[in-house]
């Protein structure tokens, strides 16, 4: 990806006025915006939370570098002795492996210990680099935030380096005073650590002006001293993950509204205590007509919401992981008016939506930090395999590009195709990085992550289970044994190349429960998507009983 900036984004502080000047990417379509913020403090806090998502999701501890340096000096002699001993033991261990042949029984334990040591050293190095060499650190961040200027809102989006977390700040035009102008479109903006630090100086007694600089597109940048050009190699998994979260926002979810006291209590417990044993999940207990409950494991503490009741049809228990990443929400809490959680299923990603008046903050979390959006979650496999032809995709893309925001019903009427075809088109456009769903407004928005649509060449190959499932279906290895519908559910049973499997689908065509004796399903269940046999079964029954 090619990035070109004229100067750097900055914050100009005056006695009565503050100017936030974002430098857009000159290698993309001309996008600019100019307006005055009514509530700079809300904007400061939600954009700081977005920064935490992109740069660092951990709670920052006190600087103990001097103490650590003293400990390192004291331990130098011991380290030299251990190094010599470790080398001797490693040579002996390698010799034992060569002689005995089979790997030792504790190989997995030793690997996990070494893996943990490696990641601890890597996180320490990354933190030191961010503090002492921010320019080099900035080059290691996969991509600058994506800013979209829409007719009614301005979107700031970011995706974490480890591909496990997504953040989006939505700023309504109502949050701006007086006349505010801009050109519609999407671009990247220069966002550095220094800019984040300057954000902290925003105050209510200073008029704050939000400015995505239009001048950068009107000057001759050739030969300019301030012009800098960068080329960033975006990993295919990062691109796939960003497209995957965009597609996930349009999937059917279980919407849970929580009271503010529950979120306060949850974050307070997470900050005060750290679990040292499993399980470390949050368990949502949803009963029809009753307030949602959240159990914080492993302590078993239950938080009961005092807000709206759960309006679902049946009782459900949904478990989600990666809860410590919720601490990035702490800064925005004083301004939050309403909290929504959208649950995709047990062990699957969750989307936390904070309503802050004319602003909103969306935090998307994968099942857990090691399970990223790009491959582990495989969210599109859990949904109904909606069909989408190229003509429908082109019509939907052209319509969204012209209108910039449309509801699902408006898209269906404008395209003139079936609901499943339109959903399939939106799903594929989202995975290509061209469409995103706005929870608060209930509309799809045209938003391009990159200047061009992301193709398979950039995304890389499909997950192995998907490829194998398509092959089994194409070879005719699926024999349907039963297909029974009972109200809003559908029970399927089949034999796929000698393997019998079963699946229970809900009214939206998603897997609710499944059973398969293959190793992939026995290990992951549905947490990383259906196995090849269940995927082939879903393809075989796609055209029947719509």
pLDDT exceeds cutoff 90 at 265: yes
Q: Which residue in the block uniquely carries the two structure tokens 């807000």?
A: 307
pLDDT exceeds cutoff 70 at 230: no
| pLDDT tens digit sequence for 197-211 | 766 777 777 777 777
pLDDT exceeds cutoff 70 at 42: yes
Closest CA to 339 of 264, 409, 393: 264
Q: Which helix (H) or strand (E) holds 116?
A: helix 107-132
| Biggest CA pair distance of the chain | 80
| pLDDT tens digit sequence for 56-95 | 544 445 567 777 887 888 888 888 888 888 888 888 877 7
Q: Which residues pair with residue 444 across a beta bridge?
A: 406, 437
State what percent of residues in the chain have pLDDT above 90: 12
Cα–Cα distances in angstroms (integers) from residue 497 to residues 41, 382, 473, 513, in the given order: 60, 22, 10, 21
| pLDDT tens digit sequence for 475-511 | 889 999 988 887 678 889 999 999 999 998 876 566 7
Task: State the burial class of residue 19 (Cβ atoms within 10 Å of its Cβ: 0-12, 13-18, 19+).
Answer: middle
Closest CA to 519 of 532, 508, 506, 538: 532
Closest CA to 359 of 133, 27, 16, 37: 37
pLDDT value of position 300:
87
Measured distance CA(353)–CA(296) in Å, rounded: 20
Assign 377 a pLDDT band (cuts: 50, 70, 90). Answer: very low
CB 49 within 8 A of CB 167: yes
**Long-range pairs for 230-234: beta carbons < 8 A, 24 or more residues apart:** 230/2, 230/3, 230/4, 230/5, 230/139, 231/1, 231/2, 231/3, 232/1, 232/3, 232/139, 232/142, 232/143, 233/1, 234/1, 234/142, 234/143, 234/458
pLDDT value of position 5:
64
Measured distance CA(32)–CA(231) in Å, rounded: 22
Q: Show the domains of the chain with their CATH numbers.
A: 2-54+139-158+174-234 (no CATH), 244-382 (3.10.150.10), 390-454 (1.10.10.10), 464-540 (no CATH)
> Where is average pLDDT lowest: 122-136, 303-317, 340-354, 391-405?
122-136
Q: What is the pTM of this model?
A: 0.69
pLDDT exceeds cutoff 70 at 142: no
Cα–Cα distances in angstroms (integers) from residue 538 to residues 38, 168, 201, 493, 523, in the given order: 51, 33, 54, 10, 20
pLDDT exceeds cutoff 50 at 546: no
């Amino acid at each position: 990806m090619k990035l070109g900036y004229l100067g750097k984004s900055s914050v100009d502080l005056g006695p009565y006025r503050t100017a936030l000047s974002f430098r857009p990417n000159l290698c993309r379509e001309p996008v600019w915006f100019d307006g005055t913020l009514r509530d700079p403090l809300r904007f400061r806090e939600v954009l700081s939370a977005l920064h935490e998502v992109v740069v660092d999701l951990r709670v920052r501890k006190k600087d103990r570098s001097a103490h650590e340096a003293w400990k390192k000096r004291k331990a130098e002699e011991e380290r030299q002795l251990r190094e010599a001993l470790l080398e001797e033991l490693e040579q002996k261990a390698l010799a034992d492996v060569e002689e005995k042949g089979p790997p030792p029984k504790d190989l997995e334990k030793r690997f996990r210990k070494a893996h943990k040591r490696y990641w601890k050293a890597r996180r320490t190095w990354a933190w030191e680099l961010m503090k002492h060499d921010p320019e080099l650190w900035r080059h290691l961040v996969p991509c600058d935030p994506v800013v979209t200027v829409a007719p009614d809102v301005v979107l700031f989006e970011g995706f974490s380096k480890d591909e496990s977390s997504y953040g989006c700040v939505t700023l309504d035009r109502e949050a701006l005073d007086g006349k505010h102008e801009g050109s519609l479109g999407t671009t990247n903006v220069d966002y550095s650590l220094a800019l984040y630090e300057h954000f902290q100086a925003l105050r209510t007694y200073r008029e704050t002006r939000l400015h995505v600089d239009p001048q950068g597109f009107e000057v001759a940048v050739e030969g300019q001293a301030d012009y800098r050009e960068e080329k960033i190699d975006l990993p295919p998994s990062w691109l796939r993950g960003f497209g995957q979260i965009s597609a996930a926002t349009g999937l059917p979810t279980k919407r849970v509204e929580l009271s503010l006291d529950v979120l306060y209590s949850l974050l307070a417990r997470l900050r005060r205590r750290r679990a040292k044993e499993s399980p470390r999940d949050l368990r949502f207990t949803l009963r029809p007509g009753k307030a949602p409950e959240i159990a914080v494991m492993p302590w078993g503490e239950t938080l009961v919401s005092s807000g709206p009741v759960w309006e679902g049809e049946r009782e459900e228990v949904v478990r989600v992981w990666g809860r410590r990443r919720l601490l990035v929400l702490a800064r925005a809490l004083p301004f939050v008016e309403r909290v929504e959680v959208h649950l995709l299923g047990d062990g699957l990603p969750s989307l936390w939506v904070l309503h802050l008046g004319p602003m909103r903050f969306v935090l998307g979390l994968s099942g857990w930090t090691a399970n990223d959006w790009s491959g582990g979650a495989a969210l599109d496999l859990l949904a109904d395999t909606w069909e989408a032809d190229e003509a429908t995709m082109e019509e939907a893309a052209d319509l969204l590009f012209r209108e910039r925001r449309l509801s699902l019903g408006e898209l269906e009427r404008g395209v003139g195709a079936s609901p499943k075809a339109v959903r399939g088109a939106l799903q594929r456009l989202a995975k290509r990085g061209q469409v995103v769903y706005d929870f608060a407004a209930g509309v799809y928005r045209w938003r391009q992550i990159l200047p061009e649509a992301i193709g398979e060449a950039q995304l890389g190959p499909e997950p192995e289970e998907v490829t194998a499932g398509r092959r089994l279906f194409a070879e005719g290895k699926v024999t349907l044994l039963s297909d029974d519908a009972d109200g809003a559910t559908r029970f399927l049973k089949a034999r796929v190349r000698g393997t019998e499997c079963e699946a229970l689908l809900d009214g939206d065509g998603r897997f609710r429960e499944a059973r398969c004796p293959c190793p992939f399903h026995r290990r992951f269940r549905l947490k990383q998507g259906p196995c090849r046999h269940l995927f082939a079964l879903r393809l075989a029954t796609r055209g029947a009983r719509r």
